[in-house]
Amino acid sequence: MNNISKKDVWHYLKKHTDARIAQGRTGNSLPTNALLDFNLSHALARDAIYENFQVETLQKKLENLKLNAQIVHSKAKDKATYLLNPNFGRELCEESKIKIHTLNENEKDICIIISDGLSATAANSHSLSVIQAIQNEFLNTAYTFSNIVLVRQGRVAISDEIGELMKCRFSVLLIGERPGLSSPDSLGIYLTYNPRVGRTDAERNCISNIRPQGLSYKEAAYKLKWLILEADKIKATGVLLKDESSGRKEISE
């Protein structure tokens, strides 16, 4: 059987990437191991989309860090609606708007929002560690934080509405990214200065691929702080703010 399945001559390059390269072949098809591995990765990606966002568990863990968190919901009442109607995930439901209004928050610098997005697995697995890294990075700074907001079935633009309602200068959204076949648990951070309903994606910065096999929690928190400090200088985020944080500081775990 070993003579039927042949390794690709570039097989040794696989150790440098999770991408599907040098799969080998059996006749004109993939070897069985490569096919089974593909099917497993596809199943993990689907599971990441349909997994429940464990907001109550996350809220309790945040309370243990002495952080208050409010649970809200987008206009998408269920997962099917969320996937088929993206606009519903970009707005809060009426009950959630009232809930945030009743908080009667004072003006703060930063509002942190966590949402499942397209990978609840990522939000469940990494958001708490990222929050802790952000806490450490902003220790001994003058920046103030509002209550954390946990959003079920939210998309990126929902951070504009929440940031505006929370009266914050910055919205920081931690959200599960669209799962890939080699990265079903990738978390992203979207930063928006002066969040208001109607902002466009060109007015935000994104820090992507946060997970143990990608960008570390500590480095993501460092990039976020760097971007916020620079955004405060130019009063803007997005295409006007370039991430030039690499090389400015040695990041060590």
H-helix segments, 1-75: 32-50, 55-64
Report the candidate in 125, 131, 95, 96 with the shortest Cα–Cα distance to residue 113.
131
Q: Report whether 156 belongs to an annotated binding site.
A: yes
Number of Cβ within a 10 Å radius of residue 78:
9
User: Nearest-5° angle of CA 155, CA 208, CA 202?
Assistant: 60
Tokens 């990437």 locate to: 17
CA distances from residue 112 to 51, 147, 149 in whole angstroms, order as listed: 22, 8, 7
CB distance 23 to 10 below 8 Å: no
DSSP result, 18-29 = SS-----EETTB
Both tokens assigned to 206: 């994104």
Two structure tokens written together for 152: 């079920």
Q: How far apart are CA 186 and CA 16, in angstroms?
A: 19
Binding residues: 156, 177, 206
Binding residues for adenosylcob(III)alamin: 156, 177, 206
